[in-house]
Amino acid sequence: MAIEFQKGNSLLHELDARTKLLIFIGITLLAVVIVDPIIMAIVFGSLYYLGTKAINKKLLNKNLRVLVVIFLTFSVFQILFFTPENSYFLFYLYPPAELVPVTVQGIIRGIAVFFRFFSVVLSVHLMLYSTPPVDLALTITKREQQFKLRTDLLVSLLLSVIFFIIALLEFNQGIERLVLPPFVKYLIVYAVCLLLSFLVVRIASHGLPPEMGVALTLGFATVGILTKQTQKITDAQKARGYDVQPKNLFKRIRVLTALLLPIFVATMERSQDIAIAILSRGFDYNISKRTYRRQLIFKRIDYIVMAVIVILILGGFFLNYLGIGNPTEQFILNLLSA
């Protein structure tokens, strides 16, 4: 089933489209930094709870149910092939030849992989479900606002502090190996972080051309229409006596052709109608001076959510810095050793 925007007044619907895009980026970073299964399960549970408050629970489960088998497969591969040194051995999957050892670390990392992948995909689903296509395209599209040096510098300073903390936590040994006075070393690291943050802010604020924004908007908006149109064509072929899911491979290819041709023709006709409608409204006239009716404005809740995401990411780096990035694994290994 296609992921279409669902109207509502939940917390996710109230968030700015840019905030939801940052949530997706933040969850992706969390999935890379955090390897503990319980922490990632809590993150996944929190996202799922927000999702059930924003859209219909049955609709959300129907789309996520398909992904369970895929992510379970990733988890099984992690369990079977993740055998680090000094791992706690449990048993061999094929005992006669002592092949495919299963370890405690492999099982824990396999569970973590399941929740890490699922959290990233769920964040994408929630962003698409709770964000109008126009706002989503406007988020990554160049707007008419002029370059504001003061605002960009303020954001760059905040972002540079975050980068500096991450650099100290993640690359502390490399920084210590620099043959320079301590003050000079940290000053150089912060200068690099400041430059990097300013470049990120400038690239993010520049945005894509308006033509690409319109193309993305149309793409998001027509996914649901094409899905319904495909279902109508499939039902029409069933009414004409077609078996749309035959067991024979060659018959299935023939039936697939009977479905794809009318779908392709209908899609081309709709695309041509949309192109004519856009050109008749003068879209191609002086695009560089285009203005926008909708404006994206951050609210207090947006800043709170972004602060929570930043704290979680820094917390993950801090746990790794202390050597307790996977407390669940360490706790279980301590119990087994005792």
Q: How does DSSP assign 27-89, residue by residue?
A: HHHHHHH---HHHHHHHHHHHHHHHHHHS-HHHHHHHHHHHHHHHHHHHHHHHHH---TT--E
Query: Has residue 117 been placed in a domain?
Result: yes
Query: Has residue 65 been placed in a domain?
Result: yes
- Are residues 127 and 32 part of one domain? yes
- Are residues 260 and 302 part of one domain? no
Give dist(CA 219, CA 140) in Å, integer: 14
- Are residues 322 and 273 part of one domain? no
Contact 324, 334 (CB under 8 A): no
- Are residues 128 and 44 part of one domain? yes
3-state SS assignment for residue 100 = strand
- Are residues 2 and 80 part of one domain? yes
- Are residues 219 and 111 part of one domain? no
- Are residues 303 and 280 part of one domain? no
- Are residues 285 and 303 part of one domain? no
The β-bridge partners of 89 are: 103
Query: Has residue 336 been placed in a domain?
Result: yes
Question: CB-based burial of residue 152 (10 Å sphere; 0-12 exposed, 13-18 middle, 19+ buried)?
Answer: middle
Give dist(CA 128, CA 118) in Å, integer: 15
Domain that holds residue 257: 210-289
3-state SS assignment for residue 99 = strand
pTM of this structure:
0.76
Domain boundary among 267, 289, 311: 289
Query: Has residue 16 been placed in a domain?
Result: yes
Query: Has residue 61 been placed in a domain?
Result: yes
CA terminus-to-terminus distance, the chain:
50
Query: Has residue 63 been placed in a domain?
Result: yes
Other CB atoms within 10 A of residue 294 CB: 10
Query: Has residue 50 been placed in a domain?
Result: yes
In a structure prediction context, what are the per-residue pLDDT tens digits for the chain, which is 338 residues long? 456 778 888 888 888 888 898 899 899 998 888 888 898 999 999 999 988 888 888 888 887 887 887 888 888 877 777 776 677 776 776 677 667 777 778 888 888 888 998 898 899 888 888 888 778 777 777 655 545 666 777 888 888 888 888 888 888 888 888 778 888 888 988 899 889 988 888 777 777 777 777 777 776 666 666 767 777 877 877 777 766 666 666 666 676 777 777 777 877 887 788 778 877 877 766 666 666 677 778 888 989 999 999 998 998 888 888 888 788 888 887 887 76
The gap from C-alpha 134 to its chain's centroid, in whole angstroms, comes to 19
Which letter does DSSP use for residue 177 in this model?
T
The β-bridge partners of 101 are: 92
Query: Has residue 159 been placed in a domain?
Result: no
Q: Report the chain's C-alpha Rg in angstroms.
A: 25
Give dist(CA 233, CA 298) in Å, integer: 43
For 145, half-sphere exposure in the C-beta direction (CA atoms, 13 angstrom radius) is 18
- Are residues 137 and 3 part of one domain? yes
- Are residues 278 and 220 part of one domain? yes
- Are residues 309 and 285 part of one domain? no
Domain count, the chain: 2
Torsions phi, psi for 142 (to 5 deg): -65, 130
Helices (H), the chain: 11-14, 17-33, 37-54, 57-81, 104-130, 133-139, 149-170, 172-176, 182-206, 210-239, 249-280, 300-322, 327-337
3-state SS assignment for residue 284 = coil
- Are residues 304 and 238 part of one domain? no
